[in-house]
Structure 1
Amino acid sequence: MSSDERESYGAETFAEGNWYHELLEDGLALSYRVEEVLYEGASKFQEVEVVRTVPFGSLLITDGLMQSSEHDEYVYHESLVHPALAAHACPKRVFIGGGGEGATLREVLRHPCVEECVMVDIDGDVVNMCRQHTPFYSAGAYDDKRAKLVIGDAKAGLESEADESFDVIIMDLSDPLDGGPCYQLYTTEFYGMAKRKLAKGGILITQSGCASVRDAHHVFSPIHHTLKQVFPKVYGYTMCVPSFTSEWGFNLAVTDESTDLSGENADATLKERNLDMRFYDSISHRRMFALPKPLRTLIDAEKRVMNIENPLFMCSTETHAGIFEEGAGDA
């Protein structure tokens, strides 16, 4: 990356042992002490970095935003994938939108009943970079004969599939940022199309941004309310991901209101499929779906609907620009 590019990106070259600063909002930043830069470069769509940090191991960072960390990515990815797949009686065909690290694909393919998983990610450079520099994410999933990787637009990829052809759709996307590529995939128009692609009893799950009592109003509750305009039943749930420094939100939508999302049968289903999870089980499921009173109140009162004509952005991408600062603090 040239010095001019770094200046526009809001970063400075740094020496080993310095700090990475992620500006979360005006007046609030998160800092990690960096041990080593494993990769930095630019794809057609975004700046990409992998740095090894003291508290969280290797971090995948795109456009200054930390996407996941080596030490706790399993919390996020098991929370994203398994409530939906465990609730479905027999998920044979699964679609993933995004998920370039490969960890979502890894978790889906742990279910032996899955016969094919179609993953569509727009940035092939990120996929290839992660396979080379952070192979722990995919753990060989791309080599599984059931995996079908498509480099392209997730919306176009899903549109090209036959109606009623997927049992589960998982949207593992970046947040809907102003200037970012993903905001259209959080709209009624997209969710309506996705619903048509789901077979009888199908389930859609999407990551839904920060969901603490302080931040859930930004996108978590609007995504929930937007899904309710399309699906008969929507469940919001959260889990604390330490490297995200927040409760993280997910929204799960079902085509059949009778689908059991209590989690009571999760342990039996996992045992039947010979799955031993690090994080997800029936007790974790109940904790995830037991929203605190402020979030329940927020969801009940939410009126905003996200559509193409009136998109809702979490924030400007400039607000989240990461910076490197030489010699910031003691090692």
Structure 2
Amino acid sequence: MDRDSPVWFEEILDADLKWSFALNSVLHKGNSFYQDIALLDTKHFGKVLVIDGKMQSAEKDEFVYHECLIHPALLCHSDPRTVFIMGGGEGSSAREALKHKSIERVVMCDIDQEVVDFCRTYLTVNEKAFSHQKLDLVIKDAKADLQERNEKFDIIVGDLTDPVEGGPCYQLYTKSFYEEILKLKLNERGIFVTQAGPAGIFTHKEVFTSIYNTIKQAFKYVMAYTAHVPSFADTWGWVMASDHPFLIGAEEMDKRIEQRIDGELLYLNGATFHSSATMNKTVSQSLLDETHVYTEENPRFIDGHGLGSRAIRD
């Protein structure tokens, strides 16, 4: 066995499918009360954050996920001032929201102190976001925190881990949560957006269509959109919703990007966003046909759990 051959990290995507990354090193591994955490230095994607064995973001392409999650909702809102992020412990969603000149306050509420501390220490790209005067970092269950707050927000973001059995956040995907808590904390013409899991031709029925259908039960205007994220080895999905029409044209979105955002976006523009809402025939039909609604008693969980880093020799 060649000692110089690479060590690999394996993530189980399905019962008969694995996604492997050649590693330079394991930078850090730890455990919190809620989750297992690892930061890996991969040969292809740079630093990779792994929680409960599943890829959360990669240094080389996390901008695709976070630009798609954050900017469409803020750009479609006429004058966003306040943002509440459920989850988002790595700080990247807060970083993107804080690029908007109109933003006065971003609340990032993550349940896991260890994950937040881990990311503050090791993900140096978000140092400025974590120390930004407009960021209010709260360590708490986002459901309880929203329910107890008297204030409302222009934008609420679900930057949550996927609904995994035994994980801390599947209740934040339920119809009762959307209707009885989240909607009550949105300002007039407020917009909600959430990550919604894998949305590829073979994976969209795991949770994407169900999250979309559940949000349709709670909001009048709902839009699903997708993008390919290379490090996820799949197309990824997001769902945006409001009780008021929110969609703007591609030219208007480009104009708002130019006027409102400090710095340059690397992925998103108006044309890209509008094209991202056009699904292939199979996924479009599945979104129309889906009947499952998330409840505490009847959730859907995403398949698979990573095996951690293990040596696989050529």
Q: TM-score, normalised by structure 1?
A: 0.90
The correspondence for 1:206, drawn from 173, 190, 194, is: 194
2:27 is equivalent to residue 43 of structure 1 = no
Residue 9 of structure 1 corresponds to: none
2:217 is equivalent to residue 233 of structure 1 = no
- Structure 1, residues 68-109: CA drift from partner, whole Å, max 9, x if none? 000000000000000100000111010000011100000000
Range that drifts further, 240-249 or 268-277: 268-277
Query: Post-superposition shift, 1:15?
Result: 9.0
Residue 182 of structure 1 corresponds to: 169
Question: Unmatched 5+ residue regions in structure 2?
Answer: none
Amino acid at match of 2:258: K
The correspondence for 2:97, drawn from 100, 103, 108, is: 108
Query: Post-superposition shift, 1:263?
Result: 3.5
**In structure 1, the residue corresponding to 2:255 is in which secondary structure?**
helix
Alignment of 1:42-81 (within 5 A): 42-81=31-70
Range that drifts further, 118-127 or 272-281: 272-281
Query: Post-superposition shift, 1:325?
Result: 2.5
Alpha-carbon distance in 2 for matches of 1:285, 1:35: 35
User: Which 4+ residue blocks in structure 1 deviate beyond 3 angstroms?
Assistant: 14-17, 261-264
Change (3 A) 1:324 1:274: closer
Q: Is the 8 A contact 1:63 1:322 kept in 2?
A: no
Question: Unmatched 5+ residue regions in structure 1?
Answer: 1-13
Change (3 A) 1:323 1:272: closer
- Structure 1, residues 300-321: CA drift from partner, whole Å, max 9, x if none? 1111111122222223xxx313
Q: Is the 8 A contact 2:83 2:153 kept in 1?
A: yes
Change (3 A) 1:16 1:132: farther
Amino acid at match of 2:257: L
- Structure 1, residues 272-308: CA drift from partner, whole Å, max 9, x if none? 1144211111121122112222111111111111112
Residue 123 of structure 2 corresponds to: 134
Residue 12 of structure 2 corresponds to: 23
Alpha-carbon distance in 2 for matches of 1:92, 1:157: 19
Alpha-carbon distance in 1 for matches of 2:132, 2:207: 34
Change (3 A) 1:183 1:15: farther
Alpha-carbon distance in 1 for matches of 2:165, 2:297: 14
Q: Is the 8 A contact 1:87 1:263 kept in 2?
A: no
Alpha-carbon distance in 2 for matches of 1:80, 1:263: 17
Query: Post-superposition shift, 1:57?
Result: 0.3
The correspondence for 1:283, drawn from 271, 276, 292, is: 271
RMSD: 1.5
Residue 223 of structure 1 corresponds to: 211
Query: Post-superposition shift, 1:16?
Result: 8.7
Alpha-carbon distance in 1 for matches of 2:79, 2:30: 41
Residue 255 of structure 2 corresponds to: 268
Change (3 A) 1:15 1:176: farther
